[in-house]
Amino acid sequence: MMKAGVVVFPGSNCDHDCYYVLKEIVGFDTSFIWHKDKKLKKYDLIVLPGGFSFGDYLRCGAIASKSPIMDSIIDFAENGGLVIGICNGFQILTESGLLPGALIRNRNLKFICKYVNITVEYINSPFTSYYTTGEVLKIPIAHAEGNYYIDEKGLEELKDNNQILFRYCSESGVVDDESNPNGSVYNIAGIVNKKGNVLGMMPHPERAAEQVLGSVDGIHIFTSVKNFLQKGVI
């Protein structure tokens, strides 16, 4: 059985949500990983969940990026291991250098918690192969620092390398400023690294994995990963 690990930092609050979805819905052999652990066991997927690691002191994710486990996660990712960082996990990935850019305060300077729409930009990825290009997903956000920033050169690299997987859009799939909840550059909601094996996204797919929650649009991120691991191809 494929193994998934969910990292737990002081202040994580979506760790059990991710654990439940991975284990009970998708079928991974799932376990928690304490942030002070220094070595990873054998995993096929690592998830950095949302929450408020270390109380969001300094910058969100800054302290967590220095946790002992992160050296092993960086090695895991650099060797091709699949990593997903959700919300605070995305912030940790940028702070650790595994993903480019930064997450800064929402442009309205307020915490935002609501369902948003995102469009799937690129499907030839371990994380999006079960979607179609341009498909609109209804997935919730919950963040105060979800405003993705990268300079013009960095943005062009993301575009050229097909690293932008998700963008905020309207219900009908129109990508415009009105559908941008936090001010993110180019309406970016989720990106991958150049190798394509590390995903960071602000929306919470684990909160859109069962119909009782109001949407199942997030589940295929995890089923895409499972399919990729089983078949070794996208």
Instruction: Please indicate whether residue 143 is annotated as part of the active site.
Output: no
Active site residue 35: no
Catalytic residue, from 95, 121, 145, 206: name it.
206
Rounded-to-integer distance, Cα 182 and Cα 143, Å: 9
CA-to-CA distance for 141 and 88, rounded, in angstroms?
Answer: 11
Two tokens, residue 189: 């909601």
- State the sign of the Cα–Cα–Cα–Cα dihedral 51, 54, 59, 61: negative
Start-to-end CA distance of the chain, whole Å, equals 19
Annotated active-site residue 206? The verdict is yes
* 87 residue type, one letter: C
Query: One of 87, 121, 143, 220 is an active-site residue; which one?
Result: 87
Torsion (CA) 7, 10, 14, 15 in degrees, nearest 10: 30
The Cα–Cα gap between 5 and 83 comes to 10
Catalytic hit among 14, 60, 95, 204: 204
Question: CA of 193: how far to CAs of 14, 81, 199, in Å?
Answer: 23, 12, 7
Active-site positions read: 87, 204, 206
